């Protein structure tokens, strides 16, 4: 604990403790000056690299010598708290940056300095060369979601908040990469599961639409159970194909058989294709009612599924038409 004040900084007289403004403070009885003891402001930087790692330094000096923490230090007079964070970052790590956003401001007691006020910023690296400064024994990059126990809980809170700020962005980046490369889970898989879970309800809705649409009159002549059974099978193919459980050849076989059957049953090709587009419409209507676009993640989830649904029905329409035309 820092030493208690004894003398007035204004006139040099001895101080005494009095209740002032409802708080015990040090007051100079000679000149009336009140000695306010405020927490010391400490600025820290959370710097991320493209690998989603955060830059930490190992403390060379007390308190918490040998422990990891964010690049951090006291703000100086006539210096903004953001400028202090950038200065300490450069001094301790050699990294130059710019403040992106305020992450947290938290008070904490300190046996070494009395109360501290930790103000932590997310900082984007703009230059510099990494090297530990005078106050740092070492520096290293750690995964943002798996940092070691740090010297200051306020730093752990700041990193957690920064990670939360980027969680949706990173999930979208990963899902987009998987969408292009294939073979991995996608954000929109949750919506595919929603369709699979409610396939019977979607097929009933589609059956009601296709049975009364003037563009698909022949469907009204078939037994409803037969039509719904085929719709359920189509939804099963939809979910299996989007989940990667079914290959292109299996999808082609199903819809070519569907095309041949509909031709033999006396359907016109435009009716069959229209029925498939109505099924796609019902899938989207259901997702829109149950999902909603409440944040960035949901917006991307829906956009991603839009692309996947488009690919599925492009294939379904093509192979259905090919099957319809085959002898």
Which tens digit of pLDDT belongs to each residue from 78-92?
999 999 999 999 999
Residue 205 and residue 286 in contact, taking contact as beta carbons nearer than 8 Å: yes
User: By the 8 A CB rule, do 71 and 88 touch?
Assistant: yes
pLDDT tens string 298-309:
778 888 888 888
Domain that holds residue 16: 1-37
- Asked if residue 266 and residue 309 are part of one domain, the reply reads yes
If one compares 119 and 33, the residue with the highest pLDDT of the two is: 119
DSSP states of 173-209 as a string?
Answer: HHHHHHHHH-SS--TTHHHHHHHHHTHHHHHHHHHHH
Using pLDDT thresholds of 50, 70 and 90, give the confidence band for residue 70: very high
The closest alpha carbon to 123, from 46, 27, 16, belongs to: 46
| Same domain for 307 and 250 | yes
Q: Which residues sit opposite 105 in a β-bridge? A: 119
Q: With respect to residue 238, please indicate whether it lies within any of the assigned structural domains.
A: yes
The verdict on 86 and 161 lying in the same domain is yes
3-state secondary structure of 121: strand
pLDDT digits (tens, 9 = 90+) for 261-286: 999 999 999 999 999 999 999 998 88
The CATH number linked to 94 is 3.90.79.10
Say how many domains are in the chain.
3
pLDDT at residue 183 tops 60: no
- Say if residue 160 is in the same domain as residue 94: yes
For residue 63, whether the previous peptide bond is cis, meaning omega lies within 30 degrees of 0, is: yes
Beta strands in 166-305 (DSSP E): none
- Residues 55, 7 share a domain: no
Q: What percent of the chain has pLDDT over 70?
A: 94
Q: For the chain, how far is it from start to end, CA to CA, in angstroms? A: 92
pTM of the model: 0.66
31 and 45 in a single domain? The answer is: no
What mean pLDDT is predicted for residues 169-178?
82
Residues 26, 113 within the same domain: no
Q: What is the pLDDT of residue 110?
A: 61
Residue 201 shares a structural domain with residue 321: yes
Look at 112 and 157; give whichever has higher pLDDT: 157
Do residues 162 and 109 both lie within one domain?
yes
134 and 217 together in one domain: no
Cα–Cα distance between 284 and 202 in angstroms, integer?
10
3-state class (DSSP) for residue 43: strand
Quote the pLDDT of residue 327: 66
pLDDT in tens, 136-148: 899 999 999 999 9
The residue among 254, 240, 239 whose CA lies nearest residue 195 is 239
């Amino acid at each position: 604990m820092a030493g208690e004040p004894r003398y007035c900084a204004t006139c040099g007289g001895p101080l005494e403790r009095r209740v002032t403004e409802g708080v015990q403070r040090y007051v100079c009885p000679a000149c009336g000056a009140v000695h306010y003891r405020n927490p010391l402001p400490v600025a820290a930087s959370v710097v991320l690299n493209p690998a989603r790692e955060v830059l930490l330094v190992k403390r060379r000096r007390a308190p918490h010598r040998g422990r990891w923490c964010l690049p951090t230090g006291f703000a100086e007079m006539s210096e903004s708290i953001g400028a202090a964070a950038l200065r300490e970052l450069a001094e301790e790590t050699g990294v130059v940056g710019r403040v992106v956003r305020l992450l947290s401001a938290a008070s904490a007691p300190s046996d070494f300095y009395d109360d501290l006020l930790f103000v932590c910023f997310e900082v984007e690296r703009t230059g510099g060369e990494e090297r530990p400064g005078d106050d740092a024994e070492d520096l290293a990059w750690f995964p943002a979601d798996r940092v070691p126990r740090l010297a200051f809980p306020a730093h752990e809170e700041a990193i957690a908040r920064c990670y939360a700020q980027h969680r949706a962005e990173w999930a979208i980046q990963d899902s987009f990469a998987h969408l292009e490369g294939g073979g991995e889970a996608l954000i929109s898989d949750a919506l595919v599961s929603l369709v699979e879970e409610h396939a019977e309800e979607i097929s009933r809705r589609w059956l009601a639409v296709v049975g009364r649409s003037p563009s698909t009159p022949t469907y009204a002549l078939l037994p409803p159970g037969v039509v719904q059974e085929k719709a359920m099978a189509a939804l099963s193919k939809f979910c299996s194909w989007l989940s990667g459980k079914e290959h292109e050849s299996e999808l082609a076989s199903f819809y070519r058989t569907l095309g041949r059957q509909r031709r033999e049953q006396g359907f016109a090709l435009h009716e069959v294709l229209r029925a498939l587009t109505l099924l796609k419409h019902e899938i989207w209507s259901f997702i829109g009612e149950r999902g909603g676009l409440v944040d960035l993640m949901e917006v991307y989830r829906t956009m991603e599924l839009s692309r996947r649904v488009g690919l599925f029905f492009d294939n379904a329409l093509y192979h259905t038409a090919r099957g319809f035309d085959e002898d």
